[in-house]
Structure 1
Amino acid sequence: MRHHDDPPAVWGSVPPRNLNFTGRRELLEQLGERLTRGGTTAVLPAALHGMGGVGKTQMATEYIYRHSQDYDVIWWIEAARPTQIRASLTELARRLGLPGAAESNTAVPAVREALRLGRPFRRWLLVFDAAESPEEVLPFIPTSGPGEVLITSCNPGWTGAATSVELGVFERDESIELLGKRGPDINVDDANRLAEKLGDLPLAVEQAATWRAMTGMPVAEYLRLFDESVAEILDTSAPPAYEVSVAAAWNVSFDELKTRNPAAHQILHICAFFSPEPIPRDLFTGVSRGVSISPELDAALRDPIKLAKAIRDINRYGLAKIDHANNTIQLHRLVQLVLRKRVMAPQLQAQMRHAAHQLLTSLDPNDPESARHWPRYRELLPHAYAADIVDCGNDRVRQFAINLMRYLFAWGDHEEAARFAEYALEKFERQLGPTDPHTLDVAQRLGLYLWGLGRYEEAARTNQLTLHRRIQVSGEDSEETRTLQTNILIDLRAKGDFAQGLRLSEEIYHKTKRLFGEDDPETLQAAYQHALSLRLSGEYQAAADLDENTLRRRIEVLGPDHPTTLSTNAALVVDRREAGEYMRARIDQERVTEIYRTRFGEDQADTVVMWFLLSVARRKDGDHRSALELSTAALSRFAAAYGADHPTTTACALAHSIDLRHSGDLAAAKAIGEKTLETYRRSLGEQHPHTIAATVDLAITLRLRGQAADARVLDERALELLRINVGRNHPYAVIAAINLASDLAAVGDVEPAAALGQDTVERAERVLGPNHPTTLAAAINLGLDLRAAGRTDEAKSYSAPILDKYRKVLGEAHPATIAAVKDTRADCDIDPLLM
């Protein structure tokens, strides 16, 4: 049992308590009442909103320290940008030990669900500080649950989305109380005059109190300096009154610091261009010799003693908050605003912003795909945004910007990676031109990011344009051109043009092999991509042969546990499964899945893909019950992590609908099958082979539900489209023809069923081989149709001989063998292939 002073079990990023917090008693009580009004049945966010400098963050912080014993989890979230919210919730997922905590796109939904359920903790408080708008923040808030949410914002628009507490300036007695706390002694009349001059704005009052505590300056002298600063500000612009109060109060201290410690003075200039959230102190330590800002600051950045003195002076004058526990510096956002707008001339602004760019870049680990560096990139990202590093003219800074978008994509924040890449591309094209190496690098990455988001048409346009420009710059055979051609290959798959994709992947593979040799990692990756093209084109055995060769070489070159080696191993298993080696594929998939589970963890995304592939392998090998269990779990995980429209989620949903049909739950199979088909239509289009495959699978369910006529309509259209788009000899077309023959038989068109079946058997033998389970299904169905048509003698060759093959290929106990023995028609599924 927790004692009164024990901290919560999970405590994250809460600012240090302000020991001079003053007043706000009634508002704190009101805030507590509104937070708890919903009991334990729903989250009712309470928003603190008001103009800058009124103490919203301070009040939220004070509430936390007064009520920390009421919660098991208190988590503070810097909410100015969605990517910062995702980063904070990802860290919370890790602290809670939730599955999928390694990547943003899986961690965030896992956190929301855990909080909604109240597991592992029921008493929780989330604080979204400095939230910009409800539209950006509400998607991250649990939709219900036993905890509470507190939001601070300058945006009054929260009043429609949350119960709100409006925070204004201090009451006069609160201003006087704060001025009297810090010393030296001040009489009520002087305190009243000073509070009046400061507009009772808490941030300005706090600054004045700190200055007086530091210097002992008489109030009259302080007011004279304050008025001089106000006159200077009003001489250059007409800012809002609250900006004047903060700027003037701050300038009094800031001007003194310039004389006392120029290095500290310049550190504050630079901090004005960072994010308002805590700035890591090590941004100013260990700076490389290549970074030069000014003589005074350069000396401090390279001398720990001088740097420590500068930071102490900043703290003494109350010009920034120093958090020694977390080793950070923080400026209030309003102070940053007035420093940039009211204090710095344009030339100085440019110099200090570039200094911020240099300091940020000096901490770039330059390895954004490595998970061990993600905490550093996560720490730098908000400050890089605030400093607008994309606008810098330095090539090292531009590369840092590219590394940040690479980190975002690798970490799992794909939407933010694409948004950042779009912004950078626009800037680079304008500053550098469309064929500059940095511009082309960003454009290439943007094409990949857009494809990953399912924005296929935009991706294709971006990739085609970038390829044209890249060839102009680097030529046909450059490594950069080949990488872009791989993007084009991916676009062709998204478009459903498997034949053209096969031709392009073959070209890339042979070109790479000629340039680098068979064992080069680039060649092996090109081989992997070509095998995928072969698989999508229905050439399963050729894909297996190439993947087997690539696997052997990757083991020799990269080792058996390298991620690309493992992905080739997994691909080979799928090749063999589609080639009809069901038992072997299941055994191999069990082994590969265990390797992924052991190496990457139970809930890592690639491991869940292996569970999904294992569900298909088990179903193909006849274990329908286990397949359903696996696809149920995998679909739930994918839908939560990536959303219903993600390509992997959709493929898993299609497989799950097949599993439901095999379990006898035709209603559920139909519902999911229809939903999946619609998703494919929306994302890939009516004529994409994956969409048509979903149509064929749904038609089987309809026929088994007694809707044979509806199934026939779907299958006729599917077969027509497949013959046009992938050809008559593609396995998908063969399977569609098998199922259409079953539809015809079901509605009494026996002779047309037999005729179609005859052609399909012959075609399946040529395409898949005489012993492939699909060929056997076509043959067993043809025998049934011939018998129904009275062609008994012809039917005999498709009875006992085919049953013998079923027993040899699938085994006596396989459900398909048992069904064939009972003269039950075979239904042929099209299992989704990942692109």
Structure 2
Amino acid sequence: MASTASFYGTNHGFQLGYNSGTIGPITIENHLPPGKFSEMCYELFADSRSWKERPETPPPPSSTVPFRRDPDFVDRGTLLDRILEKGSASPSRIALVGLGGVGKSQLVIEYSYQVRDRSPDTWVFWVHTSNAARFEQSYREIADRVKIPGRKDPKTNIFNLVSEWLHNEGKGKWMLILDSIDDDRFLHEIPLSSRDESDSRIPAQPLFNYLPLNAHGSIIITTRSRGVAAKMVEDGDIIAVESMDQIHAQTLFEKKLGKQENQEDIIELIAALEFMPLAIVQAAAYIKQRAPRSSVKQYLTEFQKNDYRKMSLLDYKGGQLRRDQEAKNSIILTWQISFNHLRQERPTAADLLSLMSFFDGHGIAEFLLYDRNQKGTNHDSMENETSDKDEISAVDSDVNDQFEEDIVTLRNFSFISVNMDGASFGMHGLVQLAMQKWLETNGQHEQWKQQFIQNLSKEFPKPEYRNWEKCELIFPHAQSAVAQLPHTDNLLEEWALLLNNAALFALSKGNIIEAEKMAVNVMKATKEKLGSEHESTLSSTNMVGLVLDRQGKYKEAEAMHRQALATREKVLGVDHLDTLISMSNLSLVLNKQGKYEEAEAIHRQTLAARERILGVDHPNTLTSIGNLGLILNRQKKYKEAEAMNRQALAGFEKVLGVDHPDTLTSRSILGFGLYMQEKYEEAEAMHRQALAGYNKVLGVDHPNTQTSIGNLGLVLDRQGKYEEAEVMHRQALAGFEKVLGVDHPNTLTSMDNLSLVLERQGKYKEAEAMHRQALAGYNKVLGADHPDTLASLSSLGTVLERQGKYEEAEEMNQQALATREKVLGVDHPNTLASMDNLSLVLERQGKYEEAEVMYQRVLAGYKKVLGADHPNTLASLSNLGMVLYRQGKYKEAEAMHRQALEVREKVLGVDHPNTLTSMSNLSLVLDGQGKYEEAEPMHRQALAGYEKVLGVDHAMTLMSMRYLSVVLKKQGRRDEALEVLHTYIQLQQLKLGPDHPDTISATADFNDWQPKHRKRDMVTRFFRKQ
């Protein structure tokens, strides 16, 4: 059973797990990028540790509409009145539907200002809806504007936060504007962890659920698609926005251009422009720009001369433009005329618009636009050509002035808008589409696509944790770059580098679907055009392997990593850093498939090379140390594994800081190793610290956070804190189902772990049903022979045994044992664990001789593989002692238990739970021989130890209490026995309830042990009163 957590970067590390029958395993993986970490890390993390959100005064209601009110707005008859009428209903959700360019956005902008004029206490929020990334960014802006407490906390679910604020009637009235929502799939679709590679949809969480419908709020939507509108509002609340009539179109034209004498030319022009507001505004801007040398008549004449150019634009295939040919054609033609003029009058502004047409239409950061030199030279070369600081300053000043003039020109033509932050720009998607078509027609498309890719590739940083903020800002533009496949080899390399980095960032943030889309596209393109041995192809192959690994497709991931490794060894050599990355990734996938020996060999080879090449303190070397610790944990070599994990954690804390995701994963891995050694208090502390860090850094929904929750649940389970453990496992299961899907290996592991804690509470039916569901999932996803499938099969056998379904339990354990012998070998620790579980079922059925033979085999196997003092060996020795005891072979059993007790006291200490268990078992054997005087003080010592170490209501404490009551009864000390038993029943009822089998059995004994004149159901009556 496998559950995963990740480090990030192009280096790829840890995975951890445990498969031994009844204990649900956890796996953790680590990805760490190559390259030397900046010395700024320490300062960065020191700052982050000292940050604390301060209380803020709630601001008065305001508007986040990113556009100023248009003084030239034309009221188009009853259209605004209809919007006002429907928007005043309670609750209200309306949609404006129409072709791009008809003025939908202008209508809602004016409407928003009118709403604020009538009701200053109403909040107005503008939400960009081109994709999930922009939707989230808008929600963050809302949270900032209203100053919602907790918004700056990285662990916060921003959608929940804003949605709850909008639901709160005490926050006042509000209006939400969803602008240009033309592809709504990301709002409605639930994410799947594994999908067909050809499916290019970008699903996310069902974001539609975060759009409240309540009496104090209203939502208005603009879209080109009536189908989109129909899914979001009632049919009666859809308002069709069509082209203007002649009177309103003429009014708009004259407001933009000024009063004109020749009304006939105006009427003819606006008719040629199909009365489309956007086309009219742009035509007026074109004429005004050239006045007095240009006029309405001249514009009309130029329009009528360009039939050939018009037809070439109409040849565009697909896209939103072709939804309505009559309306679109005139708009496209207007943009062509305007752009031709722009190119003639201010070529640099035309260049800027050409570049902007390739970006995501909202939030085009200014720093992405400075470089417009198609040869790819940057400002560094300019600085290297002169040593005169004054001259450099003058050049920079000229560049800045030119950029500002270009922006003013583009705004005057209404091609772009400046966002309220002043540092980013917006460009309507239809304008971008038409502009790219114009570039194709004029043979400039490839040149500006090249510049777009070069600018993004240069600015998108390595997706290390310290760069996440910048990656987040640029990521929507990288998504736009997926469709811009280059035609030259050099540009293809830059495109591949950009998208590989973006895919790794998406994977770091748990966005597996987008990472898969990017990685697969790059791998196909580079393999076809550059060849299978090219560096870009190998990097993308490696990236696809990582995505497959995260999806739980281990066999496919292994094939990818073997392919990348073989080629890198051939082309780059065995000691190249990229080759070592492939080795590390391959070993992780082997680890997850239970191929431990090969995985360990590769881990050790990778570690030795990195220590030699990079040094012991390099993050990549630390990753390899942690990797080796993982595989040693898998093989139950706990002491060596712990040493490795502590070394890795200390190194990460020193190099990266305590809150870095890689440090947190290293801490989680160490916590799991401590858990496996039954050092529960320290393990719990490690996991709580790791979980707090994950919540802070990655957020509550990240897969690493969910894995950490599950790890903590395992430790709490072992400490007998069943209720808290159950809460943790249910939370982890829900999180994995939401983020990764129901069939992901992490989800199945979480399901199995929850089943285990339900089993410990006596909830056998629910536990059995969940085990069966998990087992079915493992068989489907990983196959019947996978170690996690076999561990789940073994766990199901255990819960069946607890319910007395011995025949089915025996069958399950026989199946698990046979498969493990075939896959792992007869001496593998997991095989021996299956044999141990089968022996227990045989023992429960009274097949003591058969069970004894099998216990002997298990003991011999553990001694051979793990050593005489290993915890598993001692547990097996104790189990053998118990089956001998049940056969009345008291002397042999006593010898076994004394041996186990002696070693455990020496190795683990007198207060360790396992030592106390040996003491309790020895007491039972003494009890069976009638050595009550020696058995009683040993029972009391074990009971006191359990109470001290595990607490008074732990399962082991209660079991010891039960044994003590029995030995007191056998000595004729009935009153003392009844007192101990009464305490046991009280605790058992509070812990597991009155219907648990152990509670029922103890209650029956309590009644039976009463003197005849007092025999009655005292306990039941007592608890009825309670």
- TM-score interval for Structure 1 and Structure 2 normalised by the shorter chain: 0.7 to 0.9
Distance 2:744 2:60 in 1: 46
Is residue 473 of structure 2 the alignment partner of residue 339 of structure 1?
A: no
Closer, same or farther: CA 527–359 of 1 in aligned 2, 3 Å:
closer
Contact 2:186/2:207 (<8 A) preserved: no
Corresponding residue of 2:979: none
Is residue 757 of structure 2 the alignment partner of residue 659 of structure 1?
A: yes
Q: For 1:224-267, what per-residue CA distance to the aligned partner results, in whole angstroms no more than 9, with x for missing partners? A: 23222445423776574434312333344434433432222332
What is the TM-score with the length of structure 1 in the denominator?
0.83
Counterpart code for 1:819: M
Equivalent of 1:234 in 306, 311, 319: 311
- Give the 3-state SS of the residue equivalent to 2:62 in structure 1: coil
Corresponding residue of 2:38: none
Distance 1:275 1:595 in 2: 33
Corresponding residue of 2:275: 200
Q: For 1:461-488, what per-residue CA distance to the aligned partner results, in whole angstroms no more than 9, with x for missing partners? A: 3222222221221122322112111121
Equivalent of 1:490 in 584, 588, 592: 588
Contact 2:463/2:504 (<8 A) preserved: no
Contact 1:93/1:107 (<8 A) preserved: no
Distance 1:823 1:231 in 2: 98
Is residue 212 of structure 2 the alignment partner of residue 146 of structure 1?
A: yes
Deviates more, 1:280-289 or 1:805-814: 280-289
Q: For 1:553-589, what per-residue CA distance to the aligned partner results, in whole angstroms no more than 9, with x for missing partners? A: 6667767776545544432332232134445544555
Corresponding residue of 2:187: 137
Counterpart code for 1:753: A
Contact 2:709/2:732 (<8 A) preserved: yes
Distance 1:601 1:162 in 2: 29
Corresponding residue of 1:471: 569
Distance 2:166 2:749 in 1: 28
Corresponding residue of 1:430: 528
Corresponding residue of 1:538: 636
Equivalent of 1:162 in 228, 232, 239: 232
Corresponding residue of 2:302: 225
- The alpha-carbon deviation at position 743 of structure 1 amounts to 2.6
Question: % of aligned pairs identical?
Answer: 22
Corresponding residue of 1:576: 674
Distance 2:61 2:151 in 1: 28
Correspondence list, 1:63-462, <5 A: 63-67=111-115, 74-79=125-130, 81-85=131-135, 102=154, 107=157, 110=160, 127-139=177-189, 140-143=206-209, 146-147=212-213, 151-158=221-228, 161-163=231-233, 164-186=238-260, 191-211=266-286, 215=291, 218-230=295-307, 232-234=309-311, 240-285=325-370, 291=376, 303-323=399-419, 325-342=421-438, 345-365=441-461, 369=465, 370-378=467-475, 380-381=477-478, 384-385=481-482, 393-394=490-491, 396=494, 398-462=496-560
Corresponding residue of 2:104: 56
Distance 2:239 2:162 in 1: 25
Q: For 1:743-779, what per-residue CA distance to the aligned partner results, in whole angstroms no more than 9, with x for missing partners? A: 3344443433333334334444555666766556545
Corresponding residue of 1:20: 72
Closer, same or farther: CA 178–706 of 1 in aligned 2, 3 Å:
farther
- Give the 3-state SS of the residue equivalent to 1:476 in structure 2: coil
Corresponding residue of 1:819: 959
Distance 2:793 2:670 in 1: 27
- Give the 3-state SS of the residue equivalent to 1:738 in structure 2: helix
Contact 2:134/2:476 (<8 A) preserved: no
Distance 2:740 2:151 in 1: 14
- The alpha-carbon deviation at position 548 of structure 1 amounts to 3.9
What is the TM-score with the length of structure 2 in the denominator?
0.69
- Give the 3-state SS of the residue equivalent to 1:682 in structure 2: helix
Is residue 949 of structure 2 the alignment partner of residue 809 of structure 1?
A: no
Deviates more, 1:444-453 or 1:311-320: 311-320
- The alpha-carbon deviation at position 420 of structure 1 amounts to 1.0
Deviates more, 1:109-118 or 1:730-739: 109-118
Q: For 1:573-613, what per-residue CA distance to the aligned partner results, in whole angstroms no more than 9, with x for missing partners? A: 32232134445544555566667778888887656544432
Distance 1:325 1:511 in 2: 49
Corresponding residue of 2:722: 624
- Give the 3-state SS of the residue equivalent to 1:7 in structure 2: coil
Closer, same or farther: CA 426–60 of 1 in aligned 2, 3 Å:
farther
- The alpha-carbon deviation at position 532 of structure 1 amounts to 1.0
Which blocks of at least 5 consecutive residues in structure 1 are unaligned?
825-835
Distance 1:54 1:278 in 2: 23
Contact 2:881/2:897 (<8 A) preserved: yes
Q: For 1:496-541, what per-residue CA distance to the aligned partner results, in whole angstroms no more than 9, with x for missing partners? A: 3233322322333344445555555433322221221121233323
Distance 1:123 1:801 in 2: 75
- The alpha-carbon deviation at position 346 of structure 1 amounts to 4.6
Distance 1:632 1:662 in 2: 15
Counterpart code for 2:74: T
- Give the 3-state SS of the residue equivalent to 1:142 in structure 2: helix
Counterpart code for 1:334: L
Distance 2:359 2:689 in 1: 49
- Give the 3-state SS of the residue equivalent to 2:128 in structure 1: strand
In angstroms, what is the RMSD of aligned CA positions? 4.3
Is residue 737 of structure 2 the alignment partner of residue 689 of structure 1?
A: no
Distance 2:352 2:409 in 1: 11
Distance 1:242 1:494 in 2: 57
Distance 1:747 1:93 in 2: 63
Closer, same or farther: CA 475–93 of 1 in aligned 2, 3 Å:
farther
Distance 1:471 1:4 in 2: 61
Deviates more, 1:690-699 or 1:584-593: 584-593
Distance 1:486 1:424 in 2: 22
Is residue 624 of structure 2 the alignment partner of residue 526 of structure 1?
A: yes
Closer, same or farther: CA 205–482 of 1 in aligned 2, 3 Å:
same
Closer, same or farther: CA 334–593 of 1 in aligned 2, 3 Å:
closer
Corresponding residue of 2:62: 7
Contact 2:314/2:329 (<8 A) preserved: no
Distance 1:587 1:4 in 2: 40
Closer, same or farther: CA 823–118 of 1 in aligned 2, 3 Å:
farther
Correspondence list, 1:719-738, <5 A: 719-738=817-836
- Give the 3-state SS of the residue equivalent to 1:76 in structure 2: strand
Closer, same or farther: CA 378–696 of 1 in aligned 2, 3 Å:
same
Distance 1:627 1:668 in 2: 16
- Give the 3-state SS of the residue equivalent to 1:393 in structure 2: helix
Distance 1:474 1:382 in 2: 31
* Paired positions, count: 810
- Give the 3-state SS of the residue equivalent to 1:74 in structure 2: strand
Deviates more, 1:590-599 or 1:701-710: 590-599
- The alpha-carbon deviation at position 406 of structure 1 amounts to 3.2
Contact 2:256/2:281 (<8 A) preserved: no
Deviates more, 1:211-220 or 1:226-235: 211-220
Contact 1:463/1:487 (<8 A) preserved: yes
Closer, same or farther: CA 160–708 of 1 in aligned 2, 3 Å:
farther
Q: Which has the higher contact order (CA 8 A, sep 6+)?
A: 2
Counterpart code for 1:500: E
Distance 2:832 2:171 in 1: 54
Corresponding residue of 1:717: 815
Distance 2:489 2:73 in 1: 40
Counterpart code for 1:277: H
Closer, same or farther: CA 325–822 of 1 in aligned 2, 3 Å:
closer
Closer, same or farther: CA 680–336 of 1 in aligned 2, 3 Å:
same
Counterpart code for 2:100: G
Q: For 1:36-87, what per-residue CA distance to the aligned partner results, in whole angstroms no more than 9, with x for missing partners? A: 87x66xxx975544333223333444454444668657351232x4554466
Counterpart code for 1:371: W
Distance 1:609 1:542 in 2: 24
Deviates more, 1:280-289 or 1:406-415: 280-289
